[in-house]
Amino acid sequence: QERGATMARSLLRMLRTLFTFGFTDLENKECERLCNVMSKLRFPMPPKRNSVITADQVIAIRAKAHEMGHHSIALANALQFECLFRQKDVIGEWVPDGEPGLSAVSYAGKKWLRGIRWNEIDDKLILRHTTSKRQKDIEINLHLAPMVMEELARFGDTLPSSGPMIVRESTGRPWRTVDYRVKWREIARACGIPDSVKNMDNRAGGITEASNAGVPLEHIRHAATHSDIQTTQGYSRDGAEKT
């Protein structure tokens, strides 16, 4: 039910965007009418998520992922949890070739965008990446992310210098979103993690851990690239325990 409500709101946002484009750019009268109709509609908000991934669960997922031969998922989870990344910023996404954006990775009429590339990490292990949602430039010292450092140690003394960072072992190409989601769930279930906990909760898990450790909320907001601190507070779980 929760997933259905979230998906419904996402589809409604897409419809609003399409109708607005048709009205403002194409000057379509029917789109103008539909914009007016949708502006008057009100839909209930989906329930607020309260699930969170803990550091121990991330460690378990990473270990199980290695055991199952999915080393890329172990690295991706470490990056999501410790660097507060959204999934799209870590594994990227495949989009039609005709969409805006340059990419050196393409396959079957699609190109790969927005994920972390090896050349975004310098020789001092400083990661510089532009986020997909707000196009914000962030800079992260990976030496301060022990889980990430453990995963990078698997590459030996020299890291790859180019290409996508997270690549599916069976294809040699970046993961498709749906395939990554399915495989992550399989690994999580094998670790005994309930289905109510999702991969998206890595971000909330990292924020909650930082908040519980006493990190000032403003510092967490900056690390998570949130525009306002209320958003950061929404990601920080265990509110009752803190109170």
169-221 per-position pLDDT tens digit = 999 999 999 999 999 999 999 999 999 899 988 887 888 888 887 888 788 77
Query: Is pLDDT above 80 for 236?
Result: no
What is the bridge-based pairing of β-strands 110-113 and 93-96?
Answer: antiparallel
Paired strand residues for 129: 138
What is the bridge-based pairing of β-strands 110-113 and 137-141?
Answer: unpaired
- In angstroms, the CA 97 to CA 176 distance is 15
Determine how many CB atoms are found less than 10 A away from the CB of residue 209: 21
* 39-84 pLDDT tens trace: 887 777 666 667 789 999 999 999 999 999 999 999 999 999 999 9
Structure tokens at 222: 């900056």
Q: How much is the pLDDT for 240?
A: 47
Please provide the average confidence, as pLDDT, over all residues in the chain: 87
- In angstroms, the CA 161 to CA 130 distance is 18
Q: How much is the pLDDT for 80?
A: 94
* 6-22 pLDDT tens trace: 677 778 888 888 888 88
- In angstroms, the CA 7 to CA 5 distance is 5
Structure tokens at 146: 């022990």
- In angstroms, the CA 113 to CA 156 distance is 27
Q: Which helix (H) or strand (E) holds 61?
A: helix 55-67
